[in-house]
Amino acid sequence: MSAAPFTVNITASDDETFTFARAFAVASTGAARSFTDETVEYVVTQRGSEVFSGSSAVDDGAVVIDGGEVTFTLPNGTLTPGRYAHGCRVVDAGGVRAMLFSGTVTIIEGNFA
């Protein structure tokens, strides 16, 4: 078993839409990674329990691939103030899974009612 190749730590407010994008490249060439015939999966957990999961296989705007860039967007109100773990993996057509990143998400109080 291998660890995720990248650590992605994010701090955000509970009073904003939680969204971020990551560009992925082929290590040997630097070219944008193609996600053709692959699914990108994203999960957020807190204390071992799943809070949110999304997949590029579902057309709901949670995980959107545009060339080598992937944008992750959670519905407003999904994350309340606290610390979360998150991770992203890619699954190929044969079902082989590979981690793209893991890390933490810290949500702070934004002070809007």
Range of the domain at 87: 10-108
- Domain membership of residue 5 (yes or no) is no
pLDDT recorded at residue 5: 80
Domain membership flag for residue 2 = no
Instruction: Identify each DSSP E strand in 27-96 by its residue range.
Output: 38-46, 49-55, 63-66, 69-73, 82-92
36 found inside a domain = yes
Q: How many domains are there within the chain?
A: 1
Starting at the edge strand found earlier in the chain, the sheet holding 38-46 runs: 10-13, 97-108, 82-92, 38-46, 49-55
Q: Indicate the residue type of 33.
A: R
Assign residue 93 the CATH number of its domain: 2.60.40.10
Question: What's the CA gap between 63 and 74, in Å, rounded?
Answer: 9
pLDDT band at 113 (very low <50, low <70, confident <90, very high): confident
Q: What pLDDT is attached to residue 45?
A: 98
Judged against a pLDDT cut of 80, whether residue 2 lies above it is answered with no
What is the reported pTM?
0.93
Q: Give yes or no for residue 1 having a pLDDT over 80.
A: no
Does any domain span residue 61?
yes
Q: Per-residue pLDDT tens for 25-82?
A: 988 998 999 999 999 999 999 999 999 999 999 999 999 999 999 999 999 999 999 9
